[in-house]
A = this chain, B = another copy of it.
C-alpha cells in the first residue's frame, strides 16, 4: 500500500466519519489487525470511496443496501453514520430499507431498521 494512497484514504474517511471519530475508528481497526486498517483506509477509502462517477450520498445509500441485505453488523452501523455525513437524510436512509424489503425481504429490512434506529438515537443523544 503506497503511502500517498493511504493518506488519501484517511482524509476520505475523516470527511465521512468526522474529525472526532477518525482516530477511534482507526484504532479499532488497528487493534484487530494493523494491515486491516491499512487496507480499509488505503483501498476502501483511498481507492473506492474517493472515486468520481457517483456522489458520496449515493455511494452511502448503495452501501447501506448491500450491508443490510447481507446482514453485516459492524459495517452497517458505520455506514449509517457515514451516510448522514455524506449528505443523506434520515428519511432517505429509512427509504433504502423499503428497497431492501422488496429485494432482500422484510426480515433484512427489519434488522436494518433496528440498527438505523440505534444509530439515530445515539446521535440524537450526542
Residues of A within 8 A of B (CB): 1-2, 5, 29, 31-33, 35-36, 39-40, 43-44, 47-48, 51, 53-54, 58-59, 61-76, 91-92, 94-111, 113-114, 116-117
Contact = CB atoms under 8 A, between A and B. Distances in A.
Number of copies of this kind of chain in the complex? 6
A58 B55 CA distance: 11
Contact of A31 (B39, B110, B117): B117
A36 to B, nearest CB: 6
B103 A102 contact: no
Contacts of A33: 94, 97, 113
A101 to B, nearest CB: 7
A22 to B, nearest CB: 16
Given A1-B47, A32-B117, A48-B98, A70 B40 contact: no
A35 B66 contact: no
B107 A103 contact: yes
Given A69-B69, A95-B53, A75 B31 contact: no
